[in-house]
Amino acid sequence: MSIITQAPVWLIIVCIVAGAAYAGALYFKDRFNRTYGTPLATLLGILRFACVTLLAIFLLKPLIRLVSYDVEKPVIVIAQDNSESIVVGKDSAFYRNEYAANLKALTEQFGDDYEIKTLSFGDLVSEGLDSLDYKEKLTDFSGLLNEIYTRYSGRNLGAIVIASDGLYNKGSNPVFAYKKLNVPVYTIALGDTTVYKDILISEVATNRLAYLGNKFPMEITIEGRKANTANAVLTVSKKGNVLHSSNITFHGDRYNTTVPLTFDATETGLQKYSVHLSSIEGEMTLANNHKDVFIDVLDSRQKVLILAYAPHPDINAMRDAIASNESYKVDVKLAKDFNGNVNEYSLVIFHQLPAAGSMGQSMITNALEQKIPALFVWGASTDYNAFNKMNLGYSLSGYMNNTTDISGNYVDEFSLFTLDEQAKNMFRTLPPLTVPFGDFTYSPGINAMVNQQVGQIKTRKPLISFNKINDTKIGLINGEGIWRWKLTAFQQYENHDAFNQLITKIVQYSSAKEDKSLFRVNGNNDFFENEQIVFDAELYNQSYEAITNKEISMRIVSEDGIEFNYVFSVSGNRYRLNAGQLPVGNYNYEATVNGEPTIPKERGEFSISPLQLEVVNTIADHRLMYQLAADNNGEMIYPSELSSLSEKIKNKKDIVSVSYENKQLNELINYRWILALLLLLLSAEWLLRKRAGTY
């Protein structure tokens, strides 16, 4: 601690002189006074000197500088792979017992000089190692990296220890990704690289959707390891009926073959197909000899037309997103070349139409007259005067061929349809759209899904919104450049799922026929076994106003007749149900508005497909674990060497505690004890003077 001031140091001498002069003038002349006497006068002078000197020094605005030091121990992150592949082989008992105890002992070997953080990972990342059960269906090294980066990137991260078999089936290759942390990565190579005798169904490729009366393909990929001359029977069955049976003969130590099949879609709804490969003697595991696939057979396929003024990257981005959903067939046409009939389509997307010279005007008029839903995308070629005359609830005046960049802000109150959290969060990082600059007005009845945001200012003007004109759904994206959204979303999530969901949800709402029922239940019809089963419900009164004062229950029945009963919870002006995770299989559900027998029940079905990625490949990839450690200044060890790992990390000279210096400046006058001291000095002087008979 030290005292500093911005004034020259020599002024402190002036303050001392001022204090001495004041005390001397007051008491020096009375040093031989009979009232005080020399000792008392001297004491009173000292008290007055100290008080005046302190007050004078305060005029210099002195500061107290406090310097403290914090020591942060190096953080060691130990991450354990908790996926199924770890215990598929013959060493499952070892990993559940002896290895688990050794791993716990490792965390204790570092002592008090290190801060140990433990994580388990698979599809998700969890804190601690007490809940290891090796039941995760996926392995995602990228998710582990993101979690470590989020938690510890600003800390004194010393080293990362990753215990895994090197088999991953989600996210990107971890070898180079971990370099951004710039810390040593040590790996514990688990699993067995020995190739054991095994035959398996490595993949069943088929469409998730098929259409009634059509044929659909199914390709079954079969692998054999050290199964030379072995024979097995491949069967495909549905509801206990064998649809296909064939003999498979394996050749050599490594054998791979694909069996192409074709089946007829004869029933609508979710259809379960069981693919089974009979076992052979000496197989390591039978878990990968069976797969169930679910196919949703629909009556028809909706058609969407993208009608454009000219080629544009936005068109390809939207087309690919719509085509990712097999329920839709997408046609892309230029307005000058289109001579078809818009009546064939469930939705028409008009990209930068109408354009100059009345291009596309007649097609738009025809679609609106036929009450075909329309989605408009504005751009530099749009003829805004012609658009304004159509009275669709939007208008742009004063446009002088100028544009501006506008970002999007998702509207939480939007209720026409729902996006998952990943798709909503996507808008925080999306680049702006190029929006025409002018006086943009819109009718008060529009539903905005995304509002315009200029810098950090969130406006009420819509960027993506929906309207109804004469019971015809109208949508507007009033800017171009949505193709950049696709690229940014992929950069953020390493897939196109969030962007595709945004576009397909817009198309799904716009093309859907108006449902006038008072009670609706919405949800996916296919899930994987590691996903949450989520449904939304809407309830309306006779005036078609959303209400939430009734109780809605749902009964879910498995194909084995097991019942699960739930009650929806209120979420805004809707209802929501999260049924958690259910076993693999086919399910039917029935939703009921309790106490309202006149409202029809909602019925449907869904399937839960198995995730068997962790049991397909049972050969550990120690090469990846070695490269991950070597490229990140670490070292790979085996479980038998676990006790030596702490010493290897302790011997790293750059993994040390870090001392942080904290400096703090405070004004001396702010300390209360200073005021107390001044009061004490003045009070003592006053009491002594009064005791002496003066004031």
> Does the structure show a pLDDT above 60 at 33?
no
**HEC letters along 568-605:** CEEECCEEEEECCCCCCEEEEEEEEECCCCCCCCEEEE
Angle between helix 482-493 and 497-511 (nearest 10): 130
The percentage of residues in the chain with a pLDDT greater than 70, rounded to a whole number, is 96
> Does the structure show a pLDDT above 80 at 559?
yes
Which CATH architecture is the domain 74-193+619-656 placed in? 3-Layer(aba) Sandwich (3.40)
Reference 504, options 325, 376, 348; nearest CA is 325
Q: Mean of the per-residue pLDDT values for the chain?
A: 87
Please compute the mean of the pLDDT values over residues 278-306 and round it to a whole number: 84
Tokens 């696709």 label which residue?
Answer: 486
Please compute the mean of the pLDDT values over residues 131-138 and round it to a whole number: 84
pLDDT digits (tens, 9 = 90+) for 420-475: 888 999 999 999 999 999 999 999 889 999 999 998 889 999 999 999 998 899 99
According to the model, what pLDDT value does residue 29 have? 65
Residues facing 293 on adjacent strands: 273
Give CA torsion, residues 370, 373, 379, 384, to 10 deg. Answer: 50
The beta-strand segments (E) located in 352-419 are 374-377, 394-397, 403-410
State the Cα–Cα distance between residues 499 and 325, nearest whole angstrom. Answer: 12
User: Could you say which DSSP state residue 90 is in?
Assistant: T
Tokens 């001397």 label which residue?
Answer: 24
Residue-by-residue DSSP string for 484-529 = HHHHHHHHHHSSSHHHHHHHHHHHHHHHSPP---SEEEEE-SEEET
Confidence of residue 30 (pLDDT cuts 50, 70, 90): low
> Does the structure show a pLDDT above 90 at 132?
no
> Does the structure show a pLDDT above 90 at 245?
yes
> Does the structure show a pLDDT above 80 at 299?
no
> Does the structure show a pLDDT above 60 at 32?
no
Amino acid present at 551: E
Please compute the mean of the pLDDT values over residues 404-421 and round it to a whole number: 90
According to the model, what pLDDT value does residue 568 have? 95
State the Cα–Cα distance between residues 371 and 353, nearest whole angstrom. Answer: 18
> Does the structure show a pLDDT above 80 at 284?
no
Q: In CATH, what number does 198-295 get?
A: 2.60.40.10
Instruction: Please state the domain extents for the chain.
Output: 2-68+664-691, 74-193+619-656, 198-295, 302-511, 519-610
According to the model, what pLDDT value does residue 503 have? 95
Higher pLDDT, 516 or 458: 458
> Does the structure show a pLDDT above 80 at 618?
no
- For the record, the structure tokens of 411 come out as 């509207």
According to the model, what pLDDT value does residue 50 have? 87
In this chain, the answer to whether the domains covering 198-295 and 519-610 adopt an identical fold is yes
According to the model, what pLDDT value does residue 446 have? 93
* CB contact set of 558 (below 8 Å; sequence gap of 6+): 564, 582, 583, 585, 586, 587
Please compute the mean of the pLDDT values over residues 221-228 and round it to a whole number: 90
State the Cα–Cα distance between residues 599 and 543, nearest whole angstrom. Answer: 14
Angle between helix 482-493 and 313-323 (nearest 10): 50
Q: Is 318 in contact with 328 (CB distance < 8 Å)?
A: no
> Does the structure show a pLDDT above 70 at 695?
no
pLDDT digits (tens, 9 = 90+) for 345-364: 999 999 999 998 889 899 99
pLDDT digits (tens, 9 = 90+) for 675-690: 888 888 888 888 887 7
Amino acid present at 695: Y
> Does the structure show a pLDDT above 70 at 314?
yes
Query: Is CATH 3.40.50.880 the right assignment for the domain spanning 302-511?
Result: yes
Please compute the mean of the pLDDT values over residues 605-631 and round it to a whole number: 82
According to the model, what pLDDT value does residue 37 have? 66
Please compute the mean of the pLDDT values over residues 185-192 and round it to a whole number: 90
Please give the distance of CA 515 from its chain centroid, rounded to a whole number.
32
Q: Is 484 in contact with 432 (CB distance < 8 Å)?
A: no
Query: Is CATH 2.60.40.1930 the right assignment for the domain spanning 519-610?
Result: yes
